[in-house]
Copies of this chain bind each other. A is one copy, B any other.
Amino acid sequence: MDEAEVPVELARLWRIAPESRLGRPARLDVGAVVDAAVALADRDGLAAATLPKVAEALEVTKMSLYRHVGSKDELLVLMRDAAQGPPPASLEGTGPWRERLRGWAEAQAAVLERHPWLVRMPVTGPPSGPNGIAWFDAGLRALRETGLDWGAKVGVVMLVSQYVGGAAELAQGLAAGRGTGLDQAAAEQSYGRAMAALVDPGRFPDAAALFGSATFEATGPDTGGHDFRFGLELVLDGVAAAVERA
């Protein structure tokens, strides 16, 4: 635990305070800045979490934020870890790996529903914050009894995580379209109609058949959840095949 080797950004992520009692006492700290930014993103989307707006929310000038976060990109990393939060205690229990991994995926989906902007955030690398690590750890723990090697476990955890993120992104994409008078049904109908006009059955036989089918007309609000389950079970089936092989 030699913390001297840890770079500054990681120290901030893990909230390792230098504990210096010198100089002017701070009104702000990393947590306050990040919380304010997360609150803004929750309310008005990721684009609203700008340095000027965060500063205004904290009643402070923009530049003072740089005392605590280093850069906008670093703020984004901090925001992700903070918004994720720790994995819920309900994942602690024991049980068959499939149930546990399913629960893990659903818990992550719940987080993404609470903070929709998390989905659009660029992934800059492997998890490195305390909460990111905690989720990662929980995912690995679900696979503990499977006999998979480390590489496979990592692959499985990232695959499931990717799936959850992709599904959330898709759900959000479908849910967008309201806002300027068009409700979701109208948006989808207009998409379907335009596609029907553009997709030539000669060039794109299968796609045209899809758009010709009733698939894009009967999508109610519950479909998202149903589709999510379907894909998740598919992924879990794939994991099961790997587990049986090991």
Is A205 a contact of B137 with CB atoms below 8 Å? yes
Contact indicator A176/B125 (Cβ below 8 Å): yes
Which B residues touch A25, using CB under 8 A? none
Tell me whether B163 and A159 are in contact (CB under 8 A): yes
| Cα A89 to Cα B210 with chains together (Å) | 22
**Cα A241 to Cα B128 with chains together (Å):** 35
Stretch in A31-39, A96-104, A108-116, A196-204 with 4+ CB within 8 Å of B: A196-204
Does A56 make an interface contact (CB < 8 A)? no
**Size class of the A contact interface (CB-based, 8 Å):** 35 or more
Task: Tell me whether A124 is interfacial, beta carbon within 8 Å.
Answer: yes
Decide yes or no: A234 and B242 within 8 Å by CB, A1-B197, A158-B166, A193-B5 being known contacts. yes
> Please, which residues of chain B bring their CB within 8 A of the CB of A227?
151, 155
Asked if A133 is at the interface (CB within 8 A of a chain B CB), the reply is yes
Complex interface: chain B residues within 8 A of A193 (CB)? 5
A57 at the binding interface (Cβ < 8 Å): no
